[in-house]
A and B are shown apart, each in its own frame.
Chain A
Amino acid sequence: MRCRSVGVALASGFALFVITAISQEMQPAQTGANPTAEQRAAATRVFLGLGRPPDKAAAQRAVPVYQQSCAFCHGPQARGATGPGLITSDIVLGDDHGEVLVPFLKAGRPEKGMPAFSRLADPQLTDLAEFLHQQVEDVANRGAYQVQNIVVGDAVKGQAYVAANCMTCHNTTSFAHIASKYRSPDQLQRNWIWPTRPADNSLSVSATVKIANGPTLSGRVTQVSDFRITLVDNDGKTHVIERGPGVAVQIKDPLAPHQALVMTLRNEDMHNVTAYLETLK
């Protein structure tokens, strides 16, 4: 009843950009196949119970005041310098709309060297509160994170790697304009390493199922478990076959060489190839 009849890869084209390893659970259930950055951030905010989103415009208005009056002690992102970090401050986290922070900032904490900011008008202080909430958001809401520019490799070395390692299966036209197909270099990077299986089924997993004293079926696999396999044959007919004694399943995955690549690829080669492919717009 063992399932894997040959040592070839079973895999999916599932390629959403998801965080893999957050402590307890990964991401909130996605509402659509391709959420926007804003939707992802909002869903993560709800998932984490982060409460009301900060007012971005107000936070932006407070930048000059913060950098001039606060950053010296508390750091440019409120993560602490000579004074304490404010992101995990009880006062900041206990505040919703400035109702705690505004009176606090007006009074200061002279005994600890924190001056009073009574010269600032209430709206400025409210903006400062939003600035601090935005710093918390930037740290705590991982759904709002954006990767940096990931193109760090050497394109010439990347071209040499492709020439030496990829031309058994591919030719130069395989990569023409490849960078223009993806909206960002990290999408390019993940797709050249592990391509999304196209809708035309050209990279689908296939199988041959031999049934003792019965027919042999082959076709595209739509799902397989330890107990059944579902195939679509060349005529488009779906077969659901119960697995068990007398049913031999042989699976082939055209992406098997890419699975081997995933297991062995060095970071430097990955960076170099991405840098090379990024030049092929």
Chain B
Amino acid sequence: MRCAPPIWLGLMSAVLTLTAAAQPSVSLDPQTIGQPPVSSWTTFNGDYSGQRYSALKQITAANVDQLTQRWVYKITSVGAQRGAPEPVIKCTPLLVNGVLYITIPDHVWALDAHTGKEIWHYEWTDHGGHLVGQRGVGIWKTSVYFLTPDNWLIALDTATGRELWRKNFADARKQYFSTSAPIVVKNHVIVGVGGDAMDMPGFLDSFDPETGELQWTWWSTPRAGDPAVKTWPNVTAAEHGGGMTWMPGTYDPELNLLYWPTGNTNPVFAGQGRAGANLWTEAIVALDADTGKLKWYYQVSPHDTHDFDNTTAPILFDRVIDGKPRKLVAQASRNGFFVTLDRVTGKYLVVKSFVPLDYSSGLSPAGEPIPIPDKDPSVGGSINIVNATNWQAPAYNPQTGLFYVNAIEGKAIYYLIDTSTHPSGYGGTGASIGPSEHVLKAIDPLTGNSVWTHEYSNLNNAPTTLGASILTTAGNLLVSGDDQRSFIIFSADKGTILWHLDLPANESSGIITYMLDGQQWLLFAAGDSLYAYSLPGK
């Protein structure tokens, strides 16, 4: 039952507002999607690698203090949404032909990148789902792809925002909800899904960008007959085992492989009904982009019982090791381990904790952390780490060779609530205990060691799921922010603070940079507003 009942169709409505007289023509050549970003930002991470690295170097340590605000776009037409008192822009904006595309749940805007003026606004009326965030759109030729909280993939015209087609791909009544940014690869629109309240299986869908026809589905847990079922007690447990795909993956065009992070296992905190490693939840999986077939997997958290929800970006980069060029993938996982794998084979090179933790007794032959059972949630409580990071984008800078992540160091007490032999849902809970600190880490991906760290000073605990994303540039910049409404630019090589800006809210979106009219711009959001900065005009 992957489609909404037809009766709902009559209730659907969408509102389109065109606010500019001149509609720019926006068309993105599919060949350019995923190329390193220069004068555009064509996909969630800028390119397919997930590095969030820009080769631009007009802005440097020498002139960063001259950054000047060019415009601010504030969302004023949307009030409180269900469960969200005010709009927070959590997307990574895309930029094509001088037009920016931004989102919040149920809303898409096209803005003029020169002025921040609205070109069109598309509004969706949802019937269910979770309005917790929206990560942005995908673009292909003259189509914009947008996911709604109630799991519709909607294609819009880039120039006008007019709806071209829509397709429902998951049932909101099963607590599936969608926040992700579709990733367009060749003639595939790759769509992931979220929702772990009700023990449903995760999946990844591929749709035809022209027609919306489903091309393939990859399930995050095995179906009957698959050898991986042996990592579950039975097929039913596997079919209700979670593993959501709610953050965009990365892609290697040469290998034609998608690298996707899979989320937490279900039931979430109560693992007694699902003995085994629980493949392919809590993993990095490599999938053939044309068929969705699994090429390899590496499971970061076998038999997770802490909602470690492995959804951070697997970043692709190449290095020479022992004289040999290597294709690598690295991830700062939410379970507190930093991993570097060979992305051709999935074999591990580095597995090392990047926050203080004591829940693992060592590594399996495949390099997977082995959990200590005493650290599982229990009725009396069990202390373990809070999620060591979350959805906010990490980055990799090929010039410094460093991987950057905003980490959280802290502990929580995890309680098992559902002690039955067949637990369901979350089955437990966690409560943070003691200080949780946000620490920016620059990690050498060939050793897993931090080369430098920056503890953001704060008397309050780090928010568990909020915090700034990261962008890094050839100008030796690392752009991020703290939890006290400061937008901060560090040097990428040493972590020295070069410049900061006080904002009305915490940095909340993906941070992008691009050349526009001969100048390098920085674009980011804080709360309900989008901010555009550049050096002063020449």
Contact = CB atoms under 8 A, between A and B. Distances in A.
A21 B464 contact: yes
Given A88-B198, A145-B426, A267-B378, A23 B244 contact: yes
A156 interface: no
Given A21-B386, A90-B1, A94-B5, A49 B129 contact: yes
A23 B415 contact: no
Interface stretch (B108-116, B208-216, B451-459): B451-459
Interface in A239-271: 258-259, 262-263, 265, 267, 270-271
A280 interface: no
Interface stretch (B64-72, B172-180, B524-532): B172-180
B126 to A, nearest CB: 8
B177 to A, nearest CB: 7
Among B311, B356, B431, B496, max chain A CB count under 10 A is at B431
A164 to B, nearest CB: 19
Interface centre among B149, B435, B496 (most CB of A within 10 A): B435
B5 A49 contact: no
B371 interface: no
Contacts of B60: none
Given A1-B496, A1-B497, A225-B458, A139 B431 contact: no
Given A20-B432, A259-B435, A148 B198 contact: no
Interface string B231-264: 0000010001000101000000000000000011
Chain B's interface size range is 35 or more
A48 to B, nearest CB: 6
B426 A263 contact: no
Given A18-B432, A24-B391, A79-B424, A267 B374 contact: yes
Interface stretch (A53-61, A121-129, A216-224): A216-224
Contacts, number: 231
Nearest to B244: A23
A212 to B, nearest CB: 19
Contact of B198 (A1, A20, A22, A140): A140
B343 to A, nearest CB: 25
B312 to A, nearest CB: 12
A139 B465 contact: no
Interface stretch (B32-40, B398-406, B481-489): B481-489
Contact of A75 (B199, B356, B422): B422
Nearest to A205: B459
The size bracket of the interface on A is 35 or more
16 contacts: A17-B431, A20-B387, A22-B426, A24-B465, A29-B83, A29-B85, A50-B197, A88-B200, A140-B197, A140-B198, A147-B415, A193-B413, A193-B433, A194-B434, A267-B375, A270-B380
Interface of A: 1-4, 9-12, 14, 17-26, 28-29, 43, 46-51, 75, 77, 79-80, 85, 87-88, 90, 93-94, 136, 138-142, 145-153, 186, 189-190, 193-194, 205, 221-227, 229, 258-259, 262-263, 265, 267, 270-271, 274
Interface of B: 1, 5, 82-85, 128-133, 149, 171-175, 177, 179, 194, 196-200, 236, 240, 244, 246, 263-264, 306-309, 311, 356, 374-375, 378-383, 386-387, 391, 411-413, 415-417, 419-420, 422, 424-426, 428-435, 437, 454-461, 464-465, 482, 484, 486, 488, 496-497, 500
Given A90-B171, A267-B382, 13 more contacts: A2-B454, A9-B435, A17-B431, A20-B431, A20-B464, A21-B306, A25-B133, A46-B83, A223-B459, A225-B486, A227-B500, A262-B434, A267-B375
